[in-house]
Chain A
Amino acid sequence: MTNSANSEPAGAATGTLTDPPEGESLLRVSGLKKHFPVTKGLFKRQVGAVLAVDGLDFDVRSGETLGIVGESGCGKSTMGRLITRLLEPTAGKIEFEGKDITHLGVGGMRPLRRDVQMIFQDPYSSLNPRHTVGSIVSAPFKLQGVQPEGGVKKEVQRLLEVVGLSPEHYNRYPHEFSGGQRQRIGIARALALNPKLVVADEPVSALDVSIQAQVVNLLDDLQQELGLTYVIIAHDLSVIRHVSDRIAVMYLGKIVELTDRQSLYGTPMHPYTQALLSAVPVPDPRRKAAQGRERILLKGDVPSPMNPPSGCRFHTRCWKATEVCRTTEPPLVPLATGHEVACHHPENAPDQQPGDTKLLRLADGVGTAG
């Protein structure tokens, strides 16, 4: 799919992915959904559902870093918890190393718990304050009943060194550490069982920029040394650019664009991606004027995932929307080599629905359309 030069848009019109190159895919996700019921009243009558993740198709290739980016509420973290099986999917399929893991029970998940690890955003709340660093980092060994060579303590101290802490920190408590150090503790814990895939949900967003850079470098080093595969979830488009090989952009529970770093930042095709990129303030005072001129200002907020807009979910905020956008959902299809987009009127690519009537906005100027 993504890197086969002869990908046929026609064949992909259903929105499902064609086969990735043999042996490269570590994790594959298809039609993945997670709907959270919304209940009301004394009897918890279900009155609706939050469509947090609403049909994702992607794969994660061995050794790569896949970045997942999008605004708050777009379903990034839910996706992360689904692929690590911390959440039960509503629909769809998750395969890890070719094996269907979608509905594995506790027993079946056990070996997988070693291979797939998660790092969380908030180093403050993801570590139990009453446990020492030693017991936090050694917990995975206990849970899995693994006895590392040379003993748990020695292995934990080695891990602490790997992540740039000192073995003497073994008996200390999380509150004695700074934010960056706490994130290192979380990383040491994630690495304990020698995982293949690490899913990191906003691993650096709680950190100051200088500390953030330390952790980004650490993740990079570890990937190279240990051959790790990463899925890194973040809202910061600069961080995502730096860490990712390929990137998926999410909007309201869907992937709207999926491609490699160069293409995404160089020739973005989805209007939402363009708006997102143009909104990021560039740390360069000489670009001030140029940036204001090029900025695409979206109106209003993201619509509620309880009641997402019909057709293309972005149509209520999209300046290119036409009638077809309101009625027909654009499938995620490759429009260039390794560049998948879900849009009827992409930028930097041929229009998929030329000549369609421009959408007249029902309530122009009202930010809460949809």
Chain B
Amino acid sequence: MTDHEHKDDAVPAKKVKAGKGTDAAKAESPEAESPTAESKAESTKATGTTGASVTPEDAAPARGAGGLASSGTAAGEPELEKQPPKAFLEVRDLRVHFPTQDGLVKSVDGLSFSLEKGKTLGIVGESGSGKSVTSLGLMGLHTVGQYGRQRPHLSGEIWLNGQELLTADPDEMRKLRGREISMIFQDPLSALHPFFTVGDQIVEAYRVHHKVDKKAARRRAIELLDRVGIPEPAKRFSSYPHEFSGGMRQRAMIAMSLVNNPELLIADEPTTALDVTVQAQILDLIRDLQQEFGSAVIIITHDLGVVAELSDDILVMYGGRCVEYGTAEKVFYEPQHPYTWGLLGSMPRIDRDRADRLIPVKGSPPSLINIPQGCAFNPRCPYADVPAGGVTRTERPELRETQPGHLSACHMEPEDRQRIWTEEIVPKL
């Protein structure tokens, strides 16, 4: 946000941008942006953390007590287990397990986090760490789609705006999807039908949730296409997806996912398939639109540059679980988990030369059918023997708060982690 403001008034003369569309729109409505900027600055100051948070697993009793005190009545009813949420989005102990011939695939295995409106949570992790299944779970899409007919075993709670989604009936879920929750995929062709024009598909998405005539819906679609920077939107309305370039398709899909002003936007690898200059346009667009609509955004990616740029908070996933959670600043500058160190150590830098050798994570990601005993990361962790008594191989570490708002799941003592990070890792980054 703030960077955008600066961008328009503090651009060095030579850096006048060649881009138009979104920039012009931005420049014309600065007043629309400033309130968001202030409230963001405020909330950052007030709490030290930003909009999202993770509840430690062992804090469940406390949460229960808090909930009881506030509701008071109706004790003894099983529903009471489900305490109403405080945050806009609250995910509690989400588990998504797929039965397969080879065994139960525990794609998501106990994930909790929350997110406020106007904030962005970045979820990072390697392929197969459960990022996409998490987002599909939120969308209620886990029963359909990419993984075939197998119905997953689902448990936990997903609260959006005070409504629990896992127990919501399918009709209700269908209404929410596209209106309150919307998703941007890596591959726009998976979201756009090849036989219908881009415009008609956006109109359709709009009319599912709004009782308006075709003309009004068309106007809305063209407005959105324009908003996402499609040139000549009225003309492009009648194009088919294959007539668009990759970047334009991605924009068209974003237009479609935003047509109903969703309150929660989930972007799963939204720029992975795109060139870097187009990626910059799309990231800019996502950020602008979020500020404009005040939505909550979850961005799922393996690209640490993208998360650093967009996220207020970061959740690092490994083997279907959260291993580290904190503000972007904390996760990049004082990471607590050896897997996070591994991600940072693996990464070549655009902004500076690194020492000759990168420091990769050894081995490969775990099988989600046979998640290693103890800490899922222990077979790859260079520090698995630092905690005494082989505890890393027998006991699964809980997600614990090491500093306010900063959580990690590791058996090592904070002093050991501090020492290893500063003495062994930082000098090699």
Contacts and interface: CB of A to CB of B under 8 A. Distances in A.
Interface of A: 71-72, 178, 180-181, 208-214, 216-217, 220, 235, 237-239, 241-243, 261, 265, 275-302, 317-320, 347, 364-368
Contact of A288 (B308, B354, B362): B308
B360 A211 contact: yes
Given A213-B348, A285-B332, 18 more contacts: A210-B126, A210-B342, A279-B279, A281-B280, A281-B303, A282-B305, A282-B308, A282-B350, A282-B351, A283-B305, A288-B3, A295-B284, A296-B17, A298-B280, A301-B247, A301-B278, A302-B275, A368-B231
A265 B353 CA distance: 10
A319 to B, nearest CB: 4
A261 B350 CA distance: 11
Most buried by A among B278, B302, B306: B278
Contact of B280 (A178, A286, A297): A297
Contact of A213 (B23, B24, B280, B359): B359
B4 A213 contact: no
Interface of B: 2-4, 6-7, 10-11, 14-21, 23-24, 126-127, 229, 231-232, 245-248, 275-281, 283-284, 302-309, 311, 328-329, 332-333, 342-351, 353-354, 356-362, 364-365
A293 B3 contact: yes
A298 B346 contact: no
Contacts of B126: 208-211
Contacts of A294: 15
A301 B245 CA distance: 8
A208 B365 contact: yes
Contact of A180 (B248, B345, B359, B364): B364
Contact of B305 (A276, A281, A320): A281
Given A210-B343, A282-B305, A277 B350 contact: yes
8 contacts: A71-B276, A208-B126, A217-B357, A241-B350, A281-B306, A282-B350, A284-B332, A293-B11
B3 A297 contact: no
A297 B346 contact: no
B345 to A, nearest CB: 7
Nearest to B19: A297
Binding site of A, secondary structure by majority: helix, strand, loop or mixed?
helix
A242 B358 contact: yes
Nearest to B343: A209
Given A211-B360, A214-B360, A279 B16 contact: no
B277 A279 contact: yes
A286 B327 CA distance: 12
A320 B16 CA distance: 9
A275 B308 contact: no
Contacts of B309: 281-282, 285, 288, 291
A72 B276 CA distance: 10
Nearest to A277: B350
B304 to A, nearest CB: 4
Nearest to A285: B328
Given A275-B277, A281-B306, A287 B351 contact: yes
Given A297-B280, A367-B229, A319 B17 contact: yes
Given A217-B357, A241-B353, A296-B15, A181 B281 contact: no
Contact of A289 (B6, B276, B306): B6
Given A216-B358, A300-B231, A365-B21, A285 B350 contact: no
Contacts of B345: 213
Contacts of A366: 231-232
Contacts of A368: 231
A284 B19 CA distance: 24
Contacts of A275: 18, 277
Given A213-B358, A319-B17, A292 B3 contact: yes
Contacts of B3: 288-293
B75 to A, nearest CB: 45
B16 A292 contact: no
Contacts of A241: 348-350, 353
Contacts of A286: 329, 333
A283 B306 CA distance: 7
A69 to B, nearest CB: 10
B55 to A, nearest CB: 23
Most buried by A among B4, B279, B350, B361: B350
Contacts of A295: 7, 17, 280, 284
A118 B9 CA distance: 48
A291 B275 CA distance: 18
The 7 closest A-B pairs by CB, nearest first: A292-B3, A281-B305, A297-B19, A213-B360, A242-B348, A213-B346, A210-B361
Nearest to B328: A285
Nearest to B236: A368
A319 B18 contact: yes
Given A275-B277, A285-B329, A293 B350 contact: no
Contacts of A317: 18
Contacts of B279: 279, 281
Nearest to A281: B305
Contacts of A277: 350
Given A279-B276, A292-B6, A368-B231, A298 B348 contact: no
B411 to A, nearest CB: 21
Given A298-B277, A364-B20, A281 B229 contact: no
Nearest to B6: A293
A347 to B, nearest CB: 7
Given A237-B276, A294-B15, A209 B347 contact: yes
A181 B365 CA distance: 12
Contacts of A291: 3, 309
Nearest to A319: B18
A292 B351 contact: no
B349 A280 contact: no
Contacts of B16: 319
Nearest to A239: B348
Contacts of B247: 301
Contacts of A181: 364
